[in-house]
Structure 1
Amino acid sequence: MASGERIFVQAIRRYCADHGIAVDVRAGGWLITMRRGEARHFAFGYDIGLNSAIAHRLANDKSATAEALTLEGVPCVPHHLSLNPKLGKNVVGPSWRDAMLELLHDHPQGVVVKPNEGTSGRSVFKVTTEAELDHATSDVFSMSTGLVISPYVEIEEEVRVVLLGDVPLIVYSKQRGTDWRHNLDAGAKPVLLEDGEARADRAKLAIDAARAIGIVFASIDLVRVDGKWRVLEINSGVMMEALGKLHPELVQAAYDAALDRVFGEK
């Protein structure tokens, strides 16, 4: 096992070793081929291939996810899409900045600007002024074809649910550190939720969200705002690096269950 490999890659190696599956790790661990007999399966990034192409694309698009959840009546945090003006006026339209300014003016407490696709809280900005908005949009558009704007809300609690079908494999809260964000990469700490009513309620909302976009294996971020729970994001790639350092057996079991589904074990 290569030193410094991601926990995701280590988990796949262990599963394949235990099940007589040949594994070939390429591109620094970002592309993995798994072979057993004539069967061949790929893992790419943090995606093991259980989700349909359309569910994967919806989950990776924050604006599309919010629209799909709203259509199904699943409470969620709004994500308003703005396309990069470099795509051209015929695609973006002439009033893209006016639309963003209107959103900012409608939410005097501020808005959050971030890439429409992406994870780990990178290039995420809290914006309260036009100057901050211009800085944020310039940064995001330098690396992305689109951004989303959400109203800034005081998050009282955030929970992540790792789902396989309708089964909540892992449910944990993110204990925020000094940063205003709850991203694990920004210093938040994962704390497992024990079995009980709270865990069951969070799992039910996550299951409703997963069904709304037809996703099978995902991690779903939920936030409590003004005492009410809603969906923040759905992640098609299930990343559990921070959690795996604290609860390696639990994370291995979750990936094992998903890989069993890939190889038709259960």
Structure 2
Amino acid sequence: MENSKSSYVKIINEICAEEGIKLSSYSYDWAFCLRKDQKRAFILGYQFGLNPSSVQQVCNDKNIASEVLKEEDIPSVYHACFMAPSMLQYTGGKGSWKALLAELEKGTLVCKDNYGTGGNLVFKVRTQAELEKAASDIYKSSEAMAVCRYEDIQSEYRLVVLDGEIRLAFSKIRPSLTGDGVSTVGKLLAEAIAKGQIHSFLVPNEVELSKVPEKGKTYLLNWKHNLGQGASALTLSIPDLEEELVSLVKKTAKALGIRFASIDMIKTEAGWKVLEVNAGVMMEHFASSGEKQYITAKAIYRDAILKMFEG
């Protein structure tokens, strides 16, 4: 989708018009300059002018962010950093394969672009061949690969935080099929696509099309929880969130010194953990899923914009 046609750009334009803010757009609506009362503020992508640039970079680096949270004793998914071969001159030149294979022997890994978003260049790795393929693909466009242990996730939530207050919480529901004990995944999937329940372009290649799920059993189509990978958002009541979850989210924002962020949390058998912290607050898929969601996202972005002109 073109930036200019996105819900996000529409929201930015509406807010500025309603608040008497002069808006200039650059680079195909990827950057904006906002002017009001002799003050000027910028939005770049999904980065608002509320977080220091160094904090943005720390949060966008999966390894560094997890190191900070580890130091603060905040339960989180640790992401180790493995630099591309072209960067060995900065890391001592010892290489990474021995350490990577040692980690793989302990169990399934997840390999990611250390700076990536949206579930792109994220691979579940169980074998050396899969590890080599993941590393090759990631290093084609990134100088660093983040590696973490694969977690058996019971629930994944995204929480949007603005100045220490949780403004939005939703669970990410992965696309799935329900078995009838007779039909293959391929047949169930074809029926779901024909009914418009699932988009064919969001179905990953590893789906077991010949498998016959038991009657009443849920078959998940994707191990990833990203909205851009087919998951849907179920809005949650903030007052009803678990105290442990709320506490961890607020501690995470404080530890990283970030004012405006979306924080991804996962629940496992061990309890709640921080998965990732996003300094860029993207609510495109959420805002596009319904009128109520659009209004919610707009209210959050409005407050973020107005805060840029305070002080």
- Find the aligned partners of 2:165 and 2:299 in 1 and give their Cα distance: 13
User: Match of 2:280, as an amino acid?
Assistant: G
Q: Within 5 A, what are the aligned runs for 1:51-70? A: 51-70=51-70
Of 248, 257, 261, 2:303 maps to 257
Report the alpha carbon displacement of residue 14 of structure 1 after superposing the two structures with TM: 1.2
- For 1:232, the equivalent position in structure 2 comes to 275
Check if 1:244 corresponds to 2:290.
no
Q: How many Å separate the matches in 2 of 1:3 and 1:197?
A: 35
Aligned to 1:95: 95
Question: Match for 2:224 among 169, 177, 181?
Answer: 181
**Count of aligned positions:** 262
Q: 1:125 — aligned with what?
A: 123
Partner of 2:260: 217
Offset at residue 38 of structure 1 (A): 2.2
Amino acid in the other structure paired with 2:151:
V
Structure 2 unaligned spans of 5+: 176-220
Separation in structure 1 between the aligned mates of residue 37 and residue 256 of structure 2, nearest angstrom: 33
Amino acid corresponding to residue 250 of structure 2 in structure 1: I
Q: CA–CA distance in 2 between the matches of 1:261 and 1:116?
A: 30
3-state SS, counterpart of residue 242 of structure 1? helix
Partner of 1:155 in structure 2? 153
Name the SS of the counterpart of 1:73 in structure 2.
coil
- Equivalent position SS for 2:241: helix
Distance in 1, matches of 2:81 and 2:230, equals: 28
In 1: Cα distance, 2:92 partner to 2:145 partner: 12
**2:132 paired residue among 134, 152, 155:** 134
Q: Is 2:63–2:81's contact at 8 Å kept on the other side of the alignment? A: yes
SS in 2 for 1:28: coil
Q: 1:107-145: per-residue Cα shift (whole Å, max 9, x none)?
A: 2xx100000001000011000111110000000000001
Deviations 1:65-94 (A, max 9, x none): 100001111100010100011123453522
Instruction: Report SS of the residue matched to 1:121.
Output: coil
Asked if the contact 1:193–1:199 (Cα under 8 Å) also holds between the matched residues in 2, the reply is: no
Letter in 2 for 1:253: A
CA deviations 1:185-217 (Å, max 9, x no partner) are: 111100011244425543321111111110000
How far apart are the structure 2 equivalents of 1:251 and 1:196? 18
Offset at 1:41? 0.9
CA contact (8 A) 2:3 2:28 kept: no
Which stretches in structure 1 are left out of the alignment for 5+ residues? none
Contact kept, 8 Å, 1:83 with 1:92, in 2: the verdict is no
Cα-to-partner distance string for 1:3-51 (whole Å, 9 max, x where unaligned): 9522222222111111111101111111111111421111001011100
Return the letter of the residue paired with 2:253.
A
Instruction: Output the amino acid matched with 1:136.
Output: A
Please, what is the CA RMSD of the aligned residues? 1.6
- Cα distance, 1:99–1:60 mapped onto 2, change above 3 Å: same
**Hey, what does 1:36 align to over in structure 2?**
36
Instruction: Calculate the TM-score normalised by the size of structure 2.
Output: 0.81
Distance 1:3 1:9, change over 3 A: closer
CA distance in 2, matches of 1:92, 1:83: 11
The corresponding residue for 2:168 is: 170
8 Å CA contact retained: 1:161, 1:171: yes
Alignment of 1:41-52 (within 5 A): 41-52=41-52
- 2:172 is paired with a residue whose SS is strand
* TM-score, normalisation: structure 1: 0.94
- The CA distance in 1 between the partners of 2:34 and 2:4, in whole Å, is 21
Matches within 5 A, 1:197-216: 197-198=240-241, 200-216=243-259
CA contact (8 A) 2:159 2:169 kept: yes
* 2:159–2:170 Cα contact (<8 Å) kept: yes
Classify 1:206/1:190 alpha carbon distance in 2 versus 1 (closer, same or farther; 3 Å).
same
Q: Which amino acid aligns with 1:49?
A: G
Where 2:34 maps in the other structure, the secondary structure is strand
Q: Which letter maps to 2:157?
A: V
